[in-house]
Amino acid sequence: IRKNPETEVFCFRGGLRSQISCQWMDMGKKPIPGGYKRLRNFFLSWTNEAPLNPYIRLGGLTGSGKTNVLAKVRNHIDIEQHANHRGSAFGPRGWQPSQITFENLLARDLMNLSGKRIVVEDESIMLGKITIPQRIFQAMREAPLVILEVEPKERLQILFNEYVKDSNAEFFLHNLNRIRKKFGNAKTDALAIEIQRAFDSGMDVKYHEGWISTLLAEYYDPLYQKDLRYNQDKVIFRGNEKDVLAFLEAH
C-alpha cells in the first residue's frame, strides 16, 4: 500500500473495519466511507440507472482478431478481459471473477466513458459463468454493427497464436465436450482424434490447420452466419483491420 499511495481501502460492510485497518497500517488516509455496500450501490447505479451510452459493436467470424483491434480503439470496453473468458466453448482462461466483481469493473468503465460512444465486441450474454447485465446487453445488441473481415489463412494463424500455441491437447479435448450435443457424437469423436494427433505432431500451425478449419467450417461459422442474418439491418460497415480502425476512429 505504501508503494501505491492511491490504493483505496473499503469495508465489506459499513466502514469500521477499514477505518481500524487504516489506523493499524498507519496509512495516513481515511477509508472509503460507507464501506463496500455503499461502493456496490454506487456501481449498480451505473449499470442499472445511469443514461445508457451509445455503443458500436465490433463483429466478425471467430479468429478475426477482434480483441486485438478493439484494444487499438480509444473508447472501448474489453468485456472479455473483465470476465477472463473469450466467450466461446474454448474461451476459458482459468479463474473467473465473481459476477459482482465483473459488474463493478464494467460499471467503472461506464463511469469513465460517460457520455461517449463505446466500442465493444459483439458478445453473447454469457461468458463462461459471467452474465452481462441485461440492460447493458440489450443496448449492445441494438447497437450498429461493424464487421471485421480477414482472409482464411490469417484467421487460422490468429487462432493458432491466441488459442493453441501456448495450450495443450487436454484443454481442447476437455472443452470439446461442451459442444458435443450440438456438434454430434461422431463429429466430436473424430475431431478429438485429429486434435490429439496434431498436438503429438508438434506446435506448428501446419499440424493444426485441419482440425481448426473443421471446427470453423462445421461449427463456429454457421452459428455466426445465423446470428448475422438476424442483425443484417444493423451492419453499417465491413472491412479489414486498417479500414475498420479508421471507421471507428471517425465515429
- Sign of the torsion formed by the C-alpha atoms of 153, 155, 161 and 167: negative
What was the pLDDT predicted at 88? Answer: 86
Residue 26 has pLDDT above 90, yes or no: no
Q: Which residue has the cell 481448426?
A: 212
Burial class (CB in 10 A: 0-12, 13-18, 19+), 222: exposed
* Residue 11 bears catalytic tag: yes
Residue 15 has pLDDT above 70, yes or no: no
More confident residue, 32 or 189: 189
Q: Mean pLDDT, to the nearest integer, of 129-140? A: 96
What was the pLDDT predicted at 214? Answer: 96
What strand order describes the sheet that includes 235-239? 118-121, 55-59, 145-148, 235-239
More confident residue, 32 or 208: 208
Cβ neighbours for 174, distance < 8 A, ≥ 6 positions apart: none
Cβ neighbours for 146, distance < 8 A, ≥ 6 positions apart: 56, 57, 58, 59, 235, 236, 237, 238, 244, 247, 248
Q: In angstroms, rounded to a whole number, what is the distance separating the alpha carbons of residues 176 and 186?
A: 12
Beta strands 130-131 and 126-127: pairing type? antiparallel
Q: Of 44, 165, 170, which Cα lies nearest the Cα of 99?
A: 44
Q: Are the beta carbons of 44 and 104 closer than 8 angstroms?
A: no
Per the DSSP assignment, residues forming a β-bridge with 126 are: 131
What was the pLDDT predicted at 1? Answer: 47
Considering the entire predicted model, what is its pTM?
0.84
Per the DSSP assignment, residues forming a β-bridge with 120 are: 57
The C-alpha cell at 128 is 463462461
pLDDT-above-90 percentage for the chain: 74
The C-alpha cell at 35 is 464501506
Q: Of 160, 188, 153, which Cα lies nearest the Cα of 174?
A: 188
Residue 175 has pLDDT above 90, yes or no: yes
What was the pLDDT predicted at 39? Answer: 84
Q: Residue 114's pLDDT band (boundaries 50, 70, 90)?
A: very high
More confident residue, 238 or 38: 238
Q: In angstroms, rounded to a whole number, what is the distance separating the alpha carbons of residues 113 and 180?
A: 40
Q: How far is CA 9 from CA 5, 101, 111, 215, 239, in A?
A: 11, 16, 20, 47, 46
**Range with lowest mean pLDDT among 24-28, 65-69, 134-138, 167-171:** 24-28
The C-alpha cell at 63 is 479468429
Main-chain phi, psi angles of 94, to 5 degrees:
120, -140
Tell me: the pLDDT tens digits for 35-71? 778 888 989 999 998 888 899 999 999 999 999 999 9
What was the pLDDT predicted at 91? Answer: 85
Q: Mean pLDDT, to the nearest integer, of 204-223? A: 96
Query: How many Cβ atoms sit within 10 Å of the Cβ of residue 5?
Result: 9
Q: Mean pLDDT, to the nearest integer, of 114-122? A: 95
Residue 153 has pLDDT above 80, yes or no: yes
More confident residue, 151 or 10: 151
E strands of 61-101, at which residues? none
Q: Are the beta carbons of 136 and 169 closer than 8 angstroms?
A: no
Q: Which of 9, 10, 11, 136 is catalytic?
A: 11
